[in-house]
Structure 1
């Protein structure tokens, strides 16, 4: 039998999806989370490679650091910096949070990430293997931010159209109590309105006061992006706590054990949230001219740790569920299982 006939028979046998809908969704969210981790690693690798070849602008020997990660835009790291931020931003928007609040926080952080990339910091810095100047900064911002605003405007319009057509749903009917379902829809709507207000404010500033936009948009977007990331981590810590509390209460009610209590695993999201909140207070007083890069490096490291932990927790479920939290309480820490619950496969 020729290779052509073999391929034809294979195509005839493999009609439709290879896996269940649930498995496809879980694997998609799994790899989106993994991609976020890989993107941060890639950015770190580009910066460390540049550090190995760096020197001060005025010459001299020895390696040096830029005053901020954002300042690496003006070094050979530029393409990785912009590409990573845009990809991370899209991933943050695409990923559905386990709660409506987390989803709103991730959406805001994701929307701001491309602004950080497309509006480079005005501070070029003095360190690099090669340093570009700011001669074309204004032209680049004008072109890239115009495209970004058009894309964002189209996205907001499409979401409004889908809402008008009654297409989107926060959760499938019957998954939540009517009261909780209504609250979820209200949170989603408030988030949409807030994003719309941010879009209008950015558009107005971009059109009416370009010098102010070019001077302030980068750090305004960067600080706000990190704030929403921290809020997402805090929300995860709270949601994990109450989900685990519910699971433990149900397990205790159904248990016939002797009443002894197992030790609770540490709420790692709470630890990361506390470290993120404490970072500015710990770094700013002593870091001097390098406080920005220290802040960014520590927060990005904690952000990566958060995604590693969340990827591990949600490996088999995609979103946080009582069954998923129960699995984390019952199973030893280590490599996650590969089984994925499908429509006829209870977790």
Structure 2
């Protein structure tokens, strides 16, 4: 009975991680659908200069909700290493900042749902302090859970370094927000968005490099997980695509004077590549919670028969 209970618990944890990985892809599709519908809407008959500028259009609710949901998933999701977990937690926090601190209004394309400067300042102040309160609670609960968990189970989100990083952020943040309130309101979105994309590139790079160091064990598991080398190559391709997108779009911006939607395409392509990365990781880790686990055997796998044994003559 105890073995069955443990098996059910392990299956529930695995299912939760599957839903998290698939859910992040679906949230990206939700954001893409809302922005695409607004892009092809007849009113206004123009494109905003960035994906973030669609905050001031009818797509605002989906924009904010999807970013907050993605941020929560990134924070909850346990990375394969402490370094990856820190990068995921930071990216998740920054996703909330991108949602709560909007970009500047784009005057080149008419926008609706534009609050007054006073309303915008009040909304940013309220939402950012609410985010800070939630961050304090999350950090405190994480430390409490770690103190009540046996050392063997203190992995991933309960490892000490991700919690130290979160604690430092909680201490530093109010000083930054109070001291540079106007700067955070006016430029916090741009800084957070750049850092968010940088964090995602770092996570992709960590997966590519981490797998590349173990590519000698190039074996396809019975459970269907891709080989180590193939998975490393896929993550490397996504990371290079992200870097290539950044360089290519900036070069196009400088070379083509009329290319005013360069930031829109930069953000859109990076978001699409982010979704591709999660699809690949979902496929690779479908049968395990993280990369440290051995894959579960396939239900159709045949257990090899034990080798025949030679009878001992002395037993006669």
Q: TM-score, normalised by structure 1?
A: 0.73
Tell me the alpha carbon deviations over residues 80-130 of structure 1, each in whole angstroms, 9 at most, x when there is no partner. Answer: 000000000000111111222211111111111111100001233443573
The structure 1 residue matched to 2:126, chosen from 117, 132, 143, is: 143
Q: Does 1:103 align with 2:85?
A: yes
Q: Is the 8 A contact 2:82 2:161 kept in 1?
A: no
Q: Does 1:23 align with 2:6?
A: no
Q: Equivalents in 1 of 2:137, 2:115: separation in Å?
A: 33
Q: Does 1:46 align with 2:34?
A: yes
Q: Is the 8 A contact 1:105 1:228 kept in 2?
A: yes
Q: 1:154 to 1:235 in 2, by over 3 A?
A: same
Give structure 2 stretches of 5+ with no counterpart.
220-226, 254-258, 302-316
* Count of paired positions: 286
Partner residue of 1:115?
97
RMSD (Å), alpha carbons? 3.3
Q: Does 1:84 align with 2:66?
A: yes
Q: Does 1:309 align with 2:274?
A: no
Q: Is the 8 A contact 1:316 1:340 kept in 2?
A: no
Partner residue of 2:235?
269
Give structure 1 stretches of 5+ with no counterpart.
1-15, 57-62, 174-180, 249-261, 328-336, 342-347
Q: Equivalents in 1 of 2:30, 2:7: separation in Å?
A: 31
Partner residue of 2:290?
319
The Cα shift of 1:172 comes to 4.0
Partner residue of 2:251?
285
Structure 1, 20-29 or 200-209: larger mean CA deviation: 200-209
Q: 1:81 to 1:276 in 2, by over 3 A?
A: same
For 1:1-347, what aligned pairs fall within 5 Å after superposition? 20-56=8-44, 63-127=45-109, 130-135=112-117, 136-163=119-146, 165-167=147-149, 172=153, 188-246=159-217, 248=219, 265=230, 267-287=233-253, 288-321=259-292, 323-324=294-295
SS at match of 2:260: helix
SS at match of 1:234: helix
Q: TM-score, normalised by structure 2?
A: 0.80
Q: Equivalents in 1 of 2:260, 2:174: separation in Å?
A: 32
Q: Is the 8 A contact 1:71 1:123 kept in 2?
A: yes
